Amino acid sequence: MSTSEPNGLLVLEDVSRTYRVPGGDPTVQVHALRNVSLRIDAGEFVAIMGASGSGKSTLMNVLGCLDRPSGGRYWIDGTDVSSLNKAALAAVRNQTLGFVFQSFHLLARTSAVENVELPLIYGGVPARERRARATEALRRVGLGDRLDHHPNQMSGGQQQRVAIARAIVSNPRVILADEPTGNLDTTTSLGVMALLQELGRTGITVVLVTHEPDIAEYAGRVLIMRDGMVRSDLRQTQKLAEAPAPE
Partner 1 sequence: MTLFLTLRIAARALLLNKTRSFLTMLGIIIGVGSVIAMAAIGAGAREQVRASFATMGANLLIITGGSSSRSGGRGGWGSQATVTWDDFKTIQTDVPSVRLAAPLLRSNGTLVADEQNWTTSVQGTTPDYFDLRSWALSSGTRFDAAEAAGGAKVVVLGQTVVGKLWGEGADPVGRSVRISNIPFEVIGVLAKLGQSPYGTDYDDCAMMPVTTFMAKIQGGSNALNGWVIVGASSSDGTGVAQRQLTSLLRDRHHLDADPTDPRPDDFQIRNLTEMASAEAEGTSTITNLLAAIAGVSMMVGGIGIMNIMLVSVSERTREIGLRLAVGATPANILWQFLVEALLLASVGGFVGIGLGVGAASRLAHAYGWPLLIDPDVVVGVVCFSAVVGVIFGLYPARHASQLDPIEALRSE
CA dihedral 244, 144, 93, 37 (to 10 degrees): 20
Q: Is 99 in the site for partner 1 (CB under 8 A)?
A: yes
Residue 82 C-beta: closest distance to partner 1, Å: 17
**Is the separation of the CB atoms in 150 and 75 below 8 Å?**
no
Among 21, 42, 51, 121, binds partner 1 (CB under 8 A): 121
227 Cβ contact list (under 8 Å, min separation 6): 31, 34, 54, 55
Among 170, 181, 188, 197, binds partner 1 (CB under 8 A): 170
Residue 85 C-beta: closest distance to partner 1, Å: 10
Orientation of helix 156-168 relative to helix 127-140, angle to 10°: 130
Q: Is 95 in the site for partner 1 (CB under 8 A)?
A: yes
Tell how strand 45-50 and strand 205-209 pair up.
parallel
Q: Is 132 in the site for partner 1 (CB under 8 A)?
A: no
Among 16, 54, 82, 94, binds partner 1 (CB under 8 A): 94
User: Based on CB atoms, which residue is closest to partner 1, 101 or 238?
Assistant: 101
98 Cβ contact list (under 8 Å, min separation 6): 119, 166, 167, 168, 169, 170, 172, 174, 175, 176
Residues of the shown chain interacting with partner 1 in the complex, contacts defined by CB under 8 A: 61, 64, 66-67, 86-87, 90-91, 93-95, 99, 101, 105, 107, 109, 118-119, 121-124, 166, 170
